[in-house]
Amino acid sequence: MKLSGALAVSGLVTSAWAAPYRKGAEFLGKRQGPIASDGTEIDNSAIPFQPVGPIGSSGNQDAGQYTLAPGQEEDADLGLYLDLSENPNPQAIRGQNGGIVSGPRNEEYQRLNPDLLARPGTDMGSVANAKWPMGLSSARSGTGGGNPGWARQQNTNELPIATEMAGVNMHLGPNAYRELHWHSANEWAYIFSGSTRISAVNQNGETFLDDLQAGDLWFFPAGVPHSIQASPEGVEFLLIFNQGDFSEDATDLVSELFARNPKEVLAKNFQVDVSVFKDIPTEQRYIFTGSPYKGTTEEARKEVDGPAGPLPANESYSYHLSAQAPYTVPGGSVKIVDPTTFPIANNFSAALFTVEPGAMREIHWHLTSDEWNFLIQGQGRVTVFQGPQASRTFDFTAGDVGYIPVADSHYIENTGNETLVYLEVLQAPRYIDISAAQWLGLTPGQVVKDTLNVPQSFIDTLPKTKRYIVPGNPNHLTTNFTVANYPNAKFNATSAQVNTTSI
Residue 320 annotated as part of some ligand binding site: no
Calpha distance 351→324 (Å, rounded): 12
Residue 171 annotated as part of some ligand binding site: no
Residue 364 annotated as part of some ligand binding site: yes
Type of residue numbered 472:
G
Calpha distance 300→474 (Å, rounded): 49
Of the listed 179, 362, 413, 424, which one is catalytic? 424
Residue 183 annotated as part of some ligand binding site: yes
Type of residue numbered 310:
P
CB 153 within 8 A of CB 224: no
Calpha distance 375→190 (Å, rounded): 12
Residue 15 in 3-state DSSP? helix
Which among 180, 294, 173 has a CA at the least distance from the CA of 236? 173
Residue 476 annotated as part of some ligand binding site: no
Residue 187 annotated as part of some ligand binding site: yes
- Examine the residue annotation and report whether 424 is marked as an active-site residue of this protein: yes
Helix or strand (DSSP H, E) at 234 = strand 226-241
For the chain, give me the number of helices (H) and strands (E)?
Answer: 10, 26
CB 109 within 8 A of CB 16: yes
Which among 429, 416, 503 has a CA at the least distance from the CA of 466? 503
Residue 181 annotated as part of some ligand binding site: yes
Type of residue numbered 3:
L
Calpha distance 416→378 (Å, rounded): 6
CB 493 within 8 A of CB 467: no
> Burial code of 468-487, b = ≥16 C-beta within 10 A, e = fewer?
bbbbbeeebeeeebeeeebe
Residue 359 in 3-state DSSP? coil
DSSP string, 113-177: -HHHHS--TT-BS-----EEEGGGSPPEEP-SSS--EEEEEESTTT-TT--S-EEEEEEE-TTEE
Numbered residues of the known binding site: 181, 183, 187, 226, 364, 366, 371, 410
Residue positions forming the annotated binding site for Mn(2+): 181, 183, 187, 226, 364, 366, 371, 410
Write out the catalytic residue numbers: 424
